[in-house]
Structure 1
Amino acid sequence: AVRAGQCFFASREAMIVFDEAEDVFSDGGLMRDSTARSHKAWMNRLLEGNAVPTLWLSNRVDDIDPAFIRRFDMVVEVPVPPRAQRERIVRALCADAVEDSVVRRLAHEEKLAPAVVAQANGVMRCLGSSLPRERAGNVLLHLVDSTLAAQGHAPVGGKNAQQLPDFYDPAFINADVDLAAIAERLKDSRSARLCLYGPPGTGKTAYGRWLADQLDMPLLVKRASDLMSPYVGENEQNIAAAFRAASRDGALLLIDEVDSFLRDREGASRSWEATLVNEMLTQMETFQGVFVASTNMMTGLDQAALRRFDLKVKFDYLQARQAGVLLRRNGERLGFALPADVESLSAAHLPYVTPGDFATVMRQQRFRPAISFEDFLAALKGETALKAVSKLGIGFLR
């Protein structure tokens, strides 16, 4: 068809568009070559001698033979639009029907094609124009999430990953540096590589969100599940894409569970593990923005990776004074009668408590409410009792 089109339109002002070209270049398998490889000489002549300008559109180029790629006059990548542009697209489609928070949440999702939003918006409007904006937003998110799930992507309709937890307060973070001072200094430089390490629930990931808020920067959050792929080579591509997106949007890049990508290469048993670390180190070295990595397992990180972090900040269990203030604050919030020695109770009964423990117990109030301050304290003790803490003392680095 393409060859026939070249002959038919040769004497006219025309252009040919070949969509989904990857079906020709990468439709082979283990036992047979792709269509393009099977007819390599013919394909080369088609690419080198076309009389009519031809656009070859492909969703990916990974499997296209380099010999074919070099025969294209121009190879142009069309990346995912920046977040600001995505927000303009979504706003133009449905801002009149849903709340602004829904627009921002949809715009944050890189894997969400504008066509999906347009289709979901059309369905939502067919359901009736009488829907209140809040209900319309929930309907739109549900429709979009259904399509994303069918495509194998995570939903956007859940809790906003960019949102700072309501309970977060830097005053209740037990770190070995002044976190507020770091934020103040970064307002000028806006370039740093920070590694936050410590037990779960100590506020590492939340600090990354808080820092982005203080710097008035967009936030790009990536977890291990967002970047890891079962296919060889895609992990490295996903990591590179995350850093590119952060650079493009001027965003603070927060990678949670970074130990998944920076394991010590000396213990690597497979070549791809070392390649993954190498790619991560390369991206860290060239990234000019603010990069925050968090981990619960500092001891297993690659030594070269540790050297590339400008600052390594230890987040530890709450001090007795901090735990006492949180205990009093949450007890008052629940309307309990408090004993006079709340602070001493926290020191005696909650030696390994974290802000995350308080958040967990507060969420439990929805389905297992405490009836007294003693019940609330017992629930906190139950959370801390499950932790495997070294007998050498608070912390986990020895």
Structure 2
Amino acid sequence: MDHFPIIQALCRTAMAEASPAVRKQIERLRDALKKDGDEKQAASIAGILTAAQRAREVAPSRIERSRAQWVGETLAPNTPVPVDRETAAALADIIFPNEISPRAPLFNSTVSQAITTILEEWTNFDVLSELDIAPSKTCLIYGAPGTGKTRLALWMAHVLKLPVVLVKLDGLVSSFLGTTARNIGNLFSFANRYRCVLLLDEFDAIAKVRDDPQEVGEIKRVVNALLQNLDVRRDIGFTIGITNHPKLLDAAVWRRFEVQLEVPKPDFAMRMAIATQFMPPIKAPDSHLRLIAWFTEGATGAEIESLVRTYKKAMSLRTTERLDLLSTLRQFATLNAARVQSERRALLLDEPTNLFRAMRDDPVLGFTMADIGEIAGKDKSTVSRQIGKAQKNDEGH
């Protein structure tokens, strides 16, 4: 089937909040693929349906049984959080499940299945207990900035119906090094007292390599204090660490995390799914979504969201002189040069014919002359003539 990765991504997006009617149509697609002998593609769609079913099985009754296994008191909106003694600044923010978006973040099937596995361990706490096995209680999520790591961690807490004690570790660092170690101790004592997910953001701010010759002995003791508190918490609650810089982490830090989940930058199909998710209420043509996904190769989900916002502004604010898609992309590439892959940016800002040829020849895009003409604001015969003329010029040279 042509463009199956796109169909696969759209199915995964639809199943995130699928009605019975949507699920029925995706099941029909699975059955049709199998009937036509497309076993591999049918299996892929079946996997999406299975993963969605498992996610739905995280039913309230099972979550309640899981929560019953947690020790500690219940966090309330008026529960005081620990503060830095020197500055009186709060050491953490409390985020409750009803404050977190219920929409699952978009990742490829491999990452999504891994996340489902982690949640299944917690929602089947009682089953694991009968086998004398505990669910994974520590998870390190790492990857490039903007790939959705914090959003993922918050969503996991939402599914588990647990409040989040969110800590940006750079905020724990005090000019008084002894105060930093005390802040860490107070924070963990607080998290260990309540039923919650402890989310340690910007984990590399403290957990640096301890043998760095530029670090003084006191900093090393601060890192040791962090490791000791992580060890104590392993038997108490769920802890998630997040970092953009995994290479800065000490090997001893890595060993503290049972799950080490890398969040990759999205592939073409996922980039299209992300663009589709953020596009409403604007209704963009399929060719526009494909070109946005192609243009954002190497981009993160946050960068794709930023481009979609630019597109929506262009489509809605300029009612009389509406920018075409290529002009919108050029505008974005000019204002966000560091966020755009250099090859794609060069094509956009170069002679349009070179871009048309690249769009025509790219097998992932699968554009027809009509698609290119619609995007460029020209008829397909004009585009064809321009490309043909450029090819003759190249052959002449």
Normalising to structure 1: TM-score of the pair? 0.53
Q: Is the 8 A contact 1:170 1:179 kept in 2?
A: no
The alignment partner of 1:178 has SS state of helix
Measured in 1, the distance between the counterparts of 2:170 and 2:219 equals 16
Q: Is the 8 A contact 1:164 1:210 kept in 2?
A: no
Measured in 2, the distance between the counterparts of 1:208 and 1:265 equals 27
Q: Is the 8 A contact 1:212 1:219 kept in 2?
A: yes
Structure 2 matches for 1:304-383, cutoff 5 A? 304-331=252-279, 333-336=280-283, 338-342=284-288, 344-361=290-307, 371=318, 374=325, 377=329
The one-letter code matched in structure 2 to 1:257 is E
Normalising to structure 2: TM-score of the pair? 0.54
Q: Is the 8 A contact 1:352 1:384 kept in 2?
A: no
Measured in 2, the distance between the counterparts of 1:382 and 1:159 equals 39
The offset of 1:328, in angstroms, is 2.9
From the superposition, tell whether residues 175 and 185 of structure 1 become closer, same or farther in structure 2 (CA, over 3 Å): same
* Alignment match of 2:240 (pick from 277, 281, 292): 292
Query: Aligned residue for 1:203?
Result: 148
Query: Aligned residue for 1:185?
Result: 121
Measured in 2, the distance between the counterparts of 1:227 and 1:163 equals 27
The offset of 1:162, in angstroms, is 7.2
* Alignment match of 1:170 (pick from 97, 105, 109): 105
Structure 2 matches for 1:255-266, cutoff 5 A? 255-266=200-211
The one-letter code matched in structure 2 to 1:341 is S
From the superposition, tell whether residues 358 and 274 of structure 1 become closer, same or farther in structure 2 (CA, over 3 Å): same
From the superposition, tell whether residues 224 and 321 of structure 1 become closer, same or farther in structure 2 (CA, over 3 Å): same
From the superposition, tell whether residues 212 and 172 of structure 1 become closer, same or farther in structure 2 (CA, over 3 Å): same
User: Could you tell which deviates more after superposition, 363-372 or 350-359?
Assistant: 363-372
Query: Aligned residue for 1:95?
Result: none
* Alignment match of 1:231 (pick from 176, 180, 184): 176
Measured in 2, the distance between the counterparts of 1:243 and 1:383 equals 43
The offset of 1:217, in angstroms, is 1.6
Measured in 2, the distance between the counterparts of 1:232 and 1:330 equals 44
Measured in 2, the distance between the counterparts of 1:218 and 1:317 equals 28
Query: Aligned residue for 2:338?
Result: 386
Q: Is the 8 A contact 2:143 2:264 kept in 1?
A: yes
Query: Aligned residue for 2:227?
Result: 281
The alignment partner of 1:235 has SS state of helix
Structure 2 matches for 1:72-83, cutoff 5 A? none
Measured in 2, the distance between the counterparts of 1:388 and 1:318 equals 14
Q: Is the 8 A contact 2:95 2:166 kept in 1?
A: no
Query: Aligned residue for 1:216?
Result: 161
The one-letter code matched in structure 2 to 1:386 is A
Q: Is the 8 A contact 1:353 1:384 kept in 2?
A: no
Measured in 1, the distance between the counterparts of 2:154 and 2:238 equals 12
From the superposition, tell whether residues 379 and 390 of structure 1 become closer, same or farther in structure 2 (CA, over 3 Å): closer
Query: Aligned residue for 2:24?
Result: none
Structure 2 matches for 1:46-85, cutoff 5 A? 84=74
Output one character per residue of 1:332-353: Cα deviation in whole Å (capped at 9) or x when no partner. Answer: x1424x3333454244211122
The one-letter code matched in structure 1 to 2:209 is D
Select the structure that is richer in helix: 2
Measured in 2, the distance between the counterparts of 1:340 and 1:358 equals 16
The offset of 1:271, in angstroms, is 0.9
* Alignment match of 1:248 (pick from 193, 197, 203): 193
Measured in 2, the distance between the counterparts of 1:230 and 1:162 equals 34
Q: Is the 8 A contact 2:91 2:183 kept in 1?
A: no
Query: Aligned residue for 1:110?
Result: 81
From the superposition, tell whether residues 174 and 305 of structure 1 become closer, same or farther in structure 2 (CA, over 3 Å): farther
Q: What's the C-alpha RMSD, in Å, of the aligned pairs? A: 3.9
Structure with the larger RCO, 1 or 2 (CA within 8 Å, 6+ apart) = 2
The one-letter code matched in structure 1 to 2:287 is D
Q: Is the 8 A contact 1:164 1:206 kept in 2?
A: no
